[in-house]
Structure 1
Amino acid sequence: MRCVRYVHIFCCQQPLYPKSGRALLAPYDTEAATLELIQFVFTLREIMLRALNIPIDAIRTIVAIAETGSLSKAATKLGLSQPAVSAQVKRLQGLIGGQLFVKTANGTTFTDLGELALRQARIILNANDQMLRLGGDEHASVHRVGLSSLFAQRLFERAGRSDFSDLSIHVDQSGAIRKGLIEGYIDVAFIFAPHVDHELAKIVREQRAFPAIWVRSRDFVLSPGAPIPIITLPGQDWMTGPLDRMGSAYKVVLHTSDYLVRLTAVRLGIGLTALPSFSLPDDLIESPDYYLPQLSDLRAVICARPGLRGDVATRLVKRIKGLFDDHILDPPGKCGLSKGL
């Protein structure tokens, strides 16, 4: 008796044929023919799923267009022909389902959809590059340097534009930069570290001590008998600790990790804060008043991520520390790495 098999074919949860939505019923006389049909279906499904994944080259293209302002300049940056870049854009627009750019007299402008796509492209590209770095790509043409906000200001003030050609600068709070070092997506970092624990000590290459000072606006006046208004950082007791030990009456009026917000509040006379002496803005002044305790020096460390090749780490550390070598560094007996670890 003839053996008839029927195969219900679905691909991506949709009927393959016909368009009416009814599944294809295919009669086959042999087991081999049935298996061949099933293999064909799964191959077709894989091809369709692969088509829904956006290639990383297309993502790099959209970011390059944003950075250069035109398709032709993006092609030059990526080392591609302009038709190749145009093909990438066309493919990306087809996958996303809308126009990403419009050409204007001043170059290429992103549509609203393009702006949304660009934001996601940067996130995806950053995650892709970070994952590649986990394996320790020592031959990378660009290395990631993490800096505390205060050190970043110093870098931008003193370094020339050419100094950034082979660096990707990541600026954040010291705690976030430290996490990036440990996780491997930041190569070298310069951060504040009041307490160097065992994990951090293993990756420290250099350390520095910077005098800390109280800072206020020029017209700030403390009302008699009023508590000292203090603007502090989250998770930092190097300001409030000395006040507690001195027995000073104070009130935390603003608690923020945003450096610019903190300075703005000081400029408005809302309160006082403390900074490393090298970062004192020109429009603010040191406040050595009798009611304020002397602050201890701030410890900072230059670290290299675990697994970074020695010569690469040495070269990057040398470049970073050169920006601060005109300050009082490593005063004897104050910042020995072996102490307190």
Structure 2
Amino acid sequence: MRNPNLPTDLLRTFVTVVEVEGFTRAADILGRTQPAITLQVQRLERIVGHKLILRVGKEVSLTEQGESLAVYARQILRLNDLAIAHFEPPTKGTLLRVGLPVDYAVDLLQKRLTKVIKQNPSLNIEVRCDLSKNLLALLHKNEIDIAVALFEGDDQQFLFQHWQEGPTWVGSNDFNLQKNTIIPLVVHPHGCVYRDRMTTALKLTGLQWQIAFSSPGIGALQKAVRDGLGVSCLTEPTLKQGIRSLTISDGFPPLEPLHIGLFARQAQIGPEGYKIIDQIEQTFLKQSIQRPT
């Protein structure tokens, strides 16, 4: 039985169309005509035997098979670009704009990224830290190239890798929930996934709550919990001394898992961008975060 090959030029066209959400814009980036881009996507669809992209007017969207291929295509292009870069002389790359989430493991990611920058002085990197929802908005506006962000699990446009982690309720070491009391919450501002997880879980179980403390910074949030101002929701990488996990036995409902995404505008990051991606992936692997199957 013949095993067909997936040409990298077709995969690059496919990923570019997905990222810029259009055939005409992809043609401009790749230096081809719009009909040529359409023919390349059609050729790729014939090779895999499935429709990959749906077009309604100027709008494009991925089919289920297209979403699956996009994951493999990104990995294939990554290896191709790294292999080519190995035989080319190093050059001062263009600016790489990286977004790190203040609402997830920012200390770990920042330390890893700082190490990469020091080990690779030729890298030209600008780092921005913000809430996940804001980073994703910046990515879609092409104001950053790479981002780690919490998301709802359904954003496939720039998704390079995807992990899942279970959040946990947390409080100070001496926190005890008294019956019939309003639960004080320590939260990030509106739009934070953690905040939504907490309030949704409490509403479903009929527990009363109020916002006791709000801050965009994880450090301030951790201190507020440690000082006993209220309870919050954290993950393993952000637990600190003086903070303990709270469970159902403490009177708290279970929380829905978090989706952590590594997003990249792969059409424009180049080989240098993969150095950043590799280090971010290693950070997650060391934390034993599970990738959904």
Q: TM-score with structure 2 length normalisation?
A: 0.58
Q: Could you say if the C-alpha distance between residues 173 and 307 of structure 1 is closer, same or farther in structure 2, counting changes exceeding 3 Å?
A: same
Q: Could you say if the C-alpha distance between residues 139 and 186 of structure 1 is closer, same or farther in structure 2, counting changes exceeding 3 Å?
A: farther
Match status 1:145 vs 2:98: yes
More helix by share: 2
Among candidates 156, 169, 172, match of residue 130 of structure 2: 172
Q: CA deviation at 1:242?
A: 1.3
Maintained 8 Å contact 2:186/2:213: yes
Structure of higher RCO (CA pairs closer than 8 Å, 6+ residues apart): 2
Q: CA deviation at 1:139?
A: 6.0
Among candidates 187, 195, 199, match of residue 232 of structure 1: 187
**Counterpart for residue 158 of structure 2:** 203
Looking at structure 1, the residues matched to 211 and 107 of structure 2 have their Cα atoms a distance apart, in angstroms, of 26
**Counterpart for residue 285 of structure 1:** 244
Looking at structure 1, the residues matched to 180 and 269 of structure 2 have their Cα atoms a distance apart, in angstroms, of 58
**Counterpart for residue 282 of structure 2:** 322
Maintained 8 Å contact 2:100/2:110: no
Looking at structure 1, the residues matched to 177 and 253 of structure 2 have their Cα atoms a distance apart, in angstroms, of 15
Structure with larger Rg: 1
For 1:146-161, what aligned pairs fall within 5 Å after superposition? 146-149=99-102, 150-158=104-112, 161=115
Maintained 8 Å contact 2:145/2:264: yes
Match status 1:247 vs 2:202: no
Stretches of structure 2 that go unaligned for 5 or more consecutive residues are 1-90
Q: Could you say if the C-alpha distance between residues 306 and 324 of structure 1 is closer, same or farther in structure 2, counting changes exceeding 3 Å?
A: closer
**Counterpart for residue 214 of structure 1:** 169
**Counterpart for residue 15 of structure 2:** none
1:187-242 Cα deviation digits (max 9, x unpaired):
21111112534xxx111100111221111111223333212212233124111111
Q: CA deviation at 1:157?
A: 4.4
**Counterpart for residue 235 of structure 2:** 276
Maintained 8 Å contact 1:210/1:328: no
User: Which amino acid is the alignment partner of residue 269 of structure 1?
Assistant: G
Q: Could you say if the C-alpha distance between residues 295 and 250 of structure 1 is closer, same or farther in structure 2, counting changes exceeding 3 Å?
A: same
Looking at structure 1, the residues matched to 206 and 126 of structure 2 have their Cα atoms a distance apart, in angstroms, of 45
Q: Could you say if the C-alpha distance between residues 278 and 161 of structure 1 is closer, same or farther in structure 2, counting changes exceeding 3 Å?
A: closer
Stretches of structure 1 that go unaligned for 5 or more consecutive residues are 1-137, 337-341
**Counterpart for residue 260 of structure 2:** 300
Q: TM-score with structure 1 length normalisation?
A: 0.51
1:285-329 Cα deviation digits (max 9, x unpaired):
111252101112210101112631564444432221111102333
1:21-66 Cα deviation digits (max 9, x unpaired):
xxxxxxxxxxxxxxxxxxxxxxxxxxxxxxxxxxxxxxxxxxxxxx
1:240-296 Cα deviation digits (max 9, x unpaired):
111122222322323433323322221221110001122111221111252101112
For 1:65-214, what aligned pairs fall within 5 Å after superposition? 140=93, 142-149=95-102, 150-158=104-112, 161=115, 163-164=117-118, 165=121, 166=123, 167-197=125-155, 201-214=156-169
Looking at structure 2, the residues matched to 312 and 161 of structure 1 have their Cα atoms a distance apart, in angstroms, of 15
Q: RMSD value over aligned CA atoms?
A: 2.5
For 1:31-70, what aligned pairs fall within 5 Å after superposition? none
